[in-house]
Amino acid sequence: MPNAAGDGAPRPRVGVLSLQGDFAKHGAVLERLGATAVRVSLPEHLAELDALVLPGGESSTMLRLLDATGLARPLAAFVRERPVLGTCAGLILLAAEADRLPAATLGVLDVSVRRNGYGRQVHSFSDAVEFAPLGDRVSGVFIRAPRLVRVGAGVELIAHHAGEPVGVRAGRVVGLAFHPELTGDARVHRWFLEDVAGLALSRATTVAHGEAA
């Protein structure tokens, strides 16, 4: 049963892969929403988690560190069974295919991605993203973002930018090419926790941009 976060009930425990990248920003958003953010850097940190976030960063470095820490196999098992959100490099790790990597990806999303598909660091940008599950636009930050070049038949397109897919979902697994954690808008994280992972969040929480928690 998922944990609840109201009236004295335990807060949901949501892991954030913390080997490299922008994991602290994700953790801050999760805490603001009423979850307990758990830094995951060793296999034992996956125990008793309700969901997991794979952050942005450098995907090839992440794969090497997964192997070095012994996390590769337990993480692969976790993402096949539990809810997971991958952003930027996290999307690359979840994909079935990605270019120029030192090891195999986790392969739980039937998509192919091109690393740095939007260009180098100097080509980073922020812009509105059409986010279908919310029926609204959200702000997206694209930093050396991967490009979705193939989307399998069983994968749902959930976000678009300038007519291109930038977000996908397959059951409990969500992958985004952009960074929602850098915008101050927690709606994407809330949607993932409540609608995808089925977790109850405290309604006493107040988040940025005037959203009532």
- CATH number of 20's domain: 3.40.50.880
Q: CA triplet 137, 138, 143: central angle to 5 degrees?
A: 130
**Helix or strand or coil: residue 13?**
strand
For residue 32, tell me if it sits in a domain: yes
In a domain, 7, yes or no: no
**Total domains in the fold of the chain:** 1
Q: What is the mean pLDDT of the chain?
A: 91
Apex 145 CA angle, 76 and 130, nearest 5: 95
Position 206 confidence tier, pLDDT thresholds 50, 70, 90: very low
* Residues labelled catalytic: 88, 179, 181
Whole-model pTM?
A: 0.91
Describe the chain by its helix, strand, coil percentages, rounded to 5. 30, 30, 40
Going by their DSSP bridges, the two strands 136-142 and 147-151 should be labelled as unpaired
**Phi and psi at residue 82, in whole multiples of 5°?**
-125, 165
184, part of any domain: yes
Please check whether residue 6 lies inside any domain of the structure.
no
Let me know if residue 156 belongs to a domain.
yes
Q: What is the pLDDT of residue 208?
A: 41
Q: Is the pLDDT of residue 20 over 90?
A: yes
Q: Is residue 4 part of a domain?
A: no
The fraction of the chain above a pLDDT of 90, given in percent, is 82
Contact criterion met (CB below 8 Å) for 176 and 163 = no
Cβ partners under 8 Å of residue 28, min gap 6? 37, 181
9 against 145, higher pLDDT = 145
Q: Which domain holds residue 42?
A: 13-210
Residue 101 included in any domain: yes
